[in-house]
DNA sequence: CACCCCTTTGACGCTAACGTAAAGCCATGA
DNA sequence: TCATGGCTTTACGTTAGCGTCAAAGGGGTG
């Protein structure tokens, strides 16, 4: 068994990534303009590598979690700092992020619990109405 | 032991809520304009009851979770439907919400795990350098 | 009465995160 | 050769979620 198609490649056009993740090319260019991505160029054409693709995945996950691009940018720099031996200051920032993420986790679990309760009540009513 | 100050009251001015939750009165009026709140009026002045306050708490939690006011509005209507015996269609919508919230929970847990890993690596480097 | 503080509505301003032309460059194929 | 299609940049448009006056009206106090 060989690897999946996507993981076996290393070079992507902007349209490839747009298609794969169902976003617009405009969005990708926008992320680059904001410094979240920095694809190579061949002439004027953007060439994305696996690393860029990996960052894009993180960007989109950040968005699903409701973070701003500014936040996501800070978040990505934690990964970069991790790779580039800038250990100083890193742990403090990571701890900050972790604290707020865990607060968000609490909010989320509370919300899920409440919805499950509503669901349960609704089911019980349906039973009575049988 | 009597109840906490906030819970013992039933009437709130807009400024009371703004102070308590550290948001602007403008924001509260905006939520009303969007239909998320519907305080009573005495003359032209808004009077908020505990129920409004409870909704505001849900609104703010929704915002912390990164939801749009539109999403939050839908979410609140689930609570309303629960109170008002509109059981039909309710469970389906609740299930939808639950599914996407649990997806978000996954994203969040993945992110937290990654950050903890980065933290661990940073600590180990500091130990070596120690 | 004058003053201050809180309230109201209305209107304009602002940032983020793109959408949407517009116009040009380059390669491919009939 | 010319059309087609994908890529580029530039630039203006749009929506959400408020911030920020502006103007006017109570309502209690000295």
Give the number of other CB atoms < 10 A from CB of residue B24.
10
What is the architecture of the domain spanning A1-86?
A: Orthogonal Bundle (1.10)
CA dist A87 and B111 (Å) reads: 19
CATH topology of domain B1-66: Multidrug-efflux Transporter Regulator; Chain: A; Domain 2 (1.10.1660)
- Residues A13-37, mean pLDDT to the nearest whole number: 97
Q: What is the mean pLDDT of chain B?
A: 90
* Helix A69-83 with A50-64: angle, nearest 10 deg: 140
Chain A residues with CB inside 8 Å of B104's CB? 64-65, 108
Evaluate whether A98 touches B109 at the Cβ level (below 8 Å).
no
Q: What does the DSSP assignment read for B48-70?
A: B-HHHHHHHHHHHHHHHTT--HH
For A37-65, what is each residue's pLDDT tens digit? Answer: 999 999 999 999 999 999 999 999 999 99
Question: CB distance from A91 to chain B under 8 Å?
Answer: yes
Question: Facing residues of B47 across strands?
Answer: B40
Cα separation, B103 vs B95, whole angstroms: 12
**B1 — pLDDT class (breaks 50, 70, 90):** very low
For the record, the structure tokens of B16 come out as 């009371």
Kind plus residue range of the DSSP H or E element containing B40: strand B40-42
- CB contacts of A97 in chain B (<8 Å) are 115
Q: Where in chain A are the domains?
A: 1-86, 87-130
B32-52 pLDDT, tens digit each: 999 999 999 999 999 999 999
Q: How deeply is A75 buried, as exposed, middle or buried, from its count of CB atoms within 10 A (0-12, 13-18, 19+)? A: buried
Residue A115 has a pLDDT of 95
Lowest mean pLDDT across A85-99, B1-15, B56-70, B105-119: B1-15
B21 CB contact with strand D at below 7 Å: no
């Amino acid at each position: 068994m060989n690897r999946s198609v996507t993981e076996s490649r290393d070079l992507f056009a902007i349209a490839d990534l747009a298609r794969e993740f169902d976003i617009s090319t405009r969005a990708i260019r926008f992320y680059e303009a904001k410094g979240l991505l920095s694809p190579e160029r061949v002439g004027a054409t953007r060439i994305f590598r696996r690393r860029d693709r990996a960052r894009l995945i993180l960007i989109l996950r950040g968005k699903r979690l409701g973070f701003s691009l500014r936040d996501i940018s800070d978040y990505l720099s934690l990964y970069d700092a991790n790779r580039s031996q800038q250990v100083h200051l890193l742990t403090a920032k990571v701890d900050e992020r972790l604290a707020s993420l865990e607060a968000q986790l609490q909010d989320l679990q509370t919300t899920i619990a409440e919805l499950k309760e509503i669901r349960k009540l609704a089911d019980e009513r349906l039973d009575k109405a049988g």
